[in-house]
Amino acid sequence: MEVNKDEAIRCLDISSKYLDAGNISSARKFCLKSISLFETPQARKLLDQLDNMTSSAKNNVESKSSAEKGPSATGMRHRQVNGTAGGMGGDKREYTQDQAAVVKRVRSCKATAYYEVLAVKKECDDSDIKKAYRKVMFWTPLESDLD
């Protein structure tokens, strides 16, 4: 339909921009959209070019992954922690002995032993549970606590 020709040309331009940026999957998506709106010889030519690039990239990945060993051979990315807090970089966090004891106690509890994790009795009221939760989860030592 001639009505969609302008939109198809716009999608083809977007596809070309993605191709120039190296984003082949998005370039292919917009090229297919262009063809579905209004088929042009330029769009067909670009789609063939993208398909050739995709197939050659798959062949390179297959040959590379067969030569590699280990988790990276599957193509999965792995988060690098490098011993830093939360994997976000920066200095390694220092913990006090009290904080380490709390973590050790919590890890030794079963996953559903909530009262044991908070170190409260089952007969306690809601305010005691809230206090214990804040103490375990949000406790950060003051400078005076570290001495």
Q: Determine the average pLDDT of the residues in 95-111.
A: 76
Same domain, 99 and 52: no
Residue 102 in domain: yes
Coil, strand or helix at 54: helix
pTM reported for the whole predicted model: 0.42
Contacts 24+ apart (CB under 8 A), 103-112: 106/136
Same domain, 14 and 60: yes
Same domain, 111 and 59: no
Domain of 19, in residue numbers: 2-67
Residue 43 in domain: yes
Same domain, 59 and 101: no
Max mean pLDDT range (34-38, 65-69, 112-116, 131-135): 34-38
**Residue, of 78 and 124, whose pLDDT is higher:** 124
Residues 6+ apart with CB under 8 A from 4: 37, 38
Span 46-97, pLDDT tens digits = 999 998 888 877 776 665 555 555 555 555 565 555 544 444 555 666 777 8
**Residue, of 140 and 135, whose pLDDT is higher:** 135
Same domain, 63 and 101: no
From 47, 21, 23, select the one nearest 34 (Cα to Cα): 47
> Would you say residue 17 has pLDDT above 60?
yes
Residue 39 in domain: yes
Span 19-33, pLDDT tens digits = 998 888 899 999 999
Residue 88 in domain: no
Same domain, 59 and 99: no
Residues 6+ apart with CB under 8 A from 40: 8, 9, 12, 34
From 47, 45, 43, select the one nearest 55 (Cα to Cα): 47
Same domain, 10 and 63: yes
From 43, 39, 40, 38, select the one nearest 15 (Cα to Cα): 43
Number of domains the chain is built from: 2
The confidence score (pLDDT) of residue 78 equals 56
pLDDT band at 144 (very low <50, low <70, confident <90, very high): very low
Domain's final residue, options 28, 52, 67? 67
